[in-house]
Chain A
Amino acid sequence: MGFLTYLINGLSLGSVYALIALGYTMVYGIAKMLNFAHGDVIMLGAYLVFMCMSNSGLPAVVSIVIAIVCCTAIGIIIEKIAYKPLRRATNLAVLITAIGVSYFLQNMALLIFGSNPVSFTSVVKWTGFSLAGGQLKITGNAVVTIITCFIIMFALMWFVKNTKPGQAMRAVSEDKDAATLMGINVNATISLTFAIGSGLAAIAGALLCSSYPSLNPYTGSMPGIKAFTAAVFGGIGSIPGALIGGLLLGVIEILAKAYISSQLADAIVFAVLIIVLLVKPTGILGKQIKEKV
């Protein structure tokens, strides 16, 4: 029974990583940039939900919708100011700018919300259910997070595959210049990707803090890095890969803590990641890009 409990904890943690990783992988797949500020948009999203629920007493769903709208707007603004001018510059330059944006968001939040942590009230009111005579407990947060994660993944896959803007995204991700020739507005498509990624961040923020209810201006940075790892693990740029990577990372982390050593858990998780990448150098579902001379 112990193993099952750990597995469920792992899936629950993993689904949070997966949710964040979806945002990472979207942006990476289309704009080919690592958006290091993604974790901090998540933190902003969580704060927005917290403000709506705690200060204005709005219901959870309304709060999340408000947060999604605000985060989308923030994402678009960040993209316009900080990333768009660098569209034709080297990828590293955009990466560094993203780091700058990440510092900016953290310190902005520090000034606005203060440094004291707040305790986030779960957006999920349902406390979950027990199996096997109460030995196996599954929390409502875990169920909702996992389900949300799958819904978002399928929605994204459908969107990318079947809609006009989605097809434009795929075209941009394959070849920017060719996409331009086909009459696709590359800039608008990339902006749209950022908007979607940031909107997802708001949902991720709400669910992250529902499961692990302590929120401060630095809450987003570590899960951000973990989710980035997860996205690479699953094959960066691949939407189902982000989900699988996230879930696996969560499960490995919990099992390492449970069965090997909680002191060395970080080291073990990263060691597994390295081994997987050595066996499959482009992640679990990543595409092998053939280099031609």
Chain B
Amino acid sequence: MKKLDKSTRKLISSIAVIVVLYLVMSGMQATGNLSSLMSGLLVPVCAYSLVAIGLNLCVGYLGELSLGHAGFMCVGAFTSAFFSKMYQDVIPDVPRFILALLIGTFFAALFGFLIAIPVLRLSGDYLAIVTLAFGEIIKNVINVLYVGKDAAGLHLSLKDMMDLGLDLDGVVLINGAQGITGTPRQSTFTIAVVLLIVALIITHNFVNSRTGRAVKAIRDNQIAAETVGLPITKYKLTAFTISAAIAGVGGVLYAHNINSLTATTNNFGYNMSIMILVYVVLGGIGNFSGSVIATVVLTMLPEMLRGLSTYRMLIYSIVLIGLMLFNWAPGILKFREEHGLTTKQIVDKFKKKKEVQ
């Protein structure tokens, strides 16, 4: 057997863990042991994880802070939901969902690509604010977008429903701020987990490919990379587009799991972008499995705190600050090291115990 390198082994073990968790969850669900809250959260958690993986590729490997990934999620969600709604009665379920997935991913990638062309000329906080601006533009336009369908074909308006001039038997597909209602519920936990694993494999292969190494070189020292003749723009564009596409897949999952899809600040605006960034930073920049774990933990946390009623979000924010300090503050890290409290040391301890046994 060929000796696998460290990161590949890590990938395989992450996937193994996800598969085990998947089997456990499915088993619990099948036997009715899983609470409704948990089964309801399975697909959204996977969707958010996908977006976090996408953003982590951008933040961790491209080295650029994006505050607009919820925008790509939004594009993926709306284009795919629109497609599913439009052909609900025409195409059978399975091929339609596959097509919707491809369409959502394609459009998210396309937007990522188009946005990346101007954006990647900038850097640092300027790049962050421009991605935020793009996210806001996407949200604003979707909120005033009206699309209807009747015998004469598709009608589109940026003003209101009446402006569409639909026949009496016409159907409004996207109703401005009311969004898309009645998207078929097709995201299942199985599909979500498969997509999650595929995304982990793709990102892993990407960062270890020739292109990925080039991207890392550019992140670490753009000028040096330039002097050895790397085509900076091409590599940056590729990375950003893949990152947007993965976020788009998350959007497709999200859209096909909820009956009423609207674009608000909380689900597709900067609040969501920031939330996803929190997952990425807390999970470890550049660590894809970490992003997934952080997403799971931080999505579950407010739900677990429901018993606290009005204090819920307050406690949540305190826990968030606490976790950040615990994981990042140099002083606390030093304290943890001295007292054998780092993850590595704890793991080592377990390992030693095993060896003794």
Contacts and interface: CB of A to CB of B under 8 A. Distances in A.
A103 B320 contact: yes
B324 A97 contact: yes
A273 B125 contact: no
B19 interface: no
Interface stretch (B78-86, B231-239, B278-286): B278-286
A100 B321 contact: yes
B121 A278 contact: yes
Contacts of A228: 129
Interface residues of A, number: 47
A278 B222 CA distance: 19
B134 interface: yes
A277 interface: yes
A88 B59 CA distance: 19
A17 to B, nearest CB: 14
Interface stretch (B30-38, B135-143, B343-351): B135-143
A263 B144 contact: yes
Contacts of B311: 111
Contact of A274 (B130, B140, B318): B130
B261 to A, nearest CB: 20
A107 B222 contact: no
B125 A89 contact: no
Interface string A64-76: 0000000000000
B118 A274 contact: yes
Contact of A89 (B129, B321, B328): B328
B185 to A, nearest CB: 31
A89 B274 CA distance: 19
B229 interface: no
Contacts of B329: 85-86, 89
B191 to A, nearest CB: 31
B328 A293 contact: no
A229 interface: yes
A225 B270 contact: yes
Which residue, B118, B133, B270, B274, has most C-beta atoms of chain A within 10 A?
Answer: B133
A104 B137 contact: no
A86 B332 CA distance: 9
Nearest to A265: B140
Contacts of B65: 92
Interface residues of B, number: 48
B283 to A, nearest CB: 11
Interface in B319-350: 320-321, 324-325, 327-332
B248 to A, nearest CB: 20
Contact of A104 (B134, B222, B285, B318): B318
Contacts of A293: 221, 223-224
Contacts of A110: 310, 313
A264 B141 contact: yes
Interface in A255-293: 261, 263-264, 266-267, 270-271, 273-274, 277-278, 281-283, 286, 291, 293
Which residue, B118, B313, B327, has most C-beta atoms of chain A within 10 A?
Answer: B313
B9 interface: no
Interface string B307-320: 00011011011101
A93 interface: yes
A92 B126 contact: no
B126 A282 contact: yes
A232 B129 contact: yes
A69 to B, nearest CB: 25
Contacts of B159: 263
A241 B74 CA distance: 33
A96 interface: yes
B158 interface: yes
A236 B317 CA distance: 27
Contacts of A85: 325, 329-332
Nearest to B226: A293
B335 to A, nearest CB: 11
Interface string A193-233: 00000000000000000000000000000000100110010
Which residue, A85, A90, A271, A273, has most C-beta atoms of chain B within 10 A?
Answer: A85
B140 A96 contact: no
Interface in A99-118: 99-101, 103-104, 106-108, 110-111
B324 A232 contact: no
A82 interface: yes
Given A100-B317, A111-B314, A267-B137, A86 B126 contact: no
9 contacts: A86-B324, A92-B281, A99-B274, A104-B314, A108-B314, A229-B133, A264-B141, A266-B140, A278-B118
Q: List the 8 closest A-B pairs by CB distance, nearest first.
A: A103-B317, A270-B133, A85-B329, A93-B328, A104-B317, A100-B320, A100-B321, A107-B314
Interface of B: 59, 65, 118, 121-123, 125-126, 129-130, 132-134, 136-137, 140-141, 144, 158-159, 221-224, 270, 274, 277-278, 281-282, 285, 310-311, 313-314, 316-318, 320-321, 324-325, 327-332
Given A86-B325, A100-B320, A274-B130, 5 more contacts: A93-B328, A96-B281, A99-B274, A232-B129, A281-B121
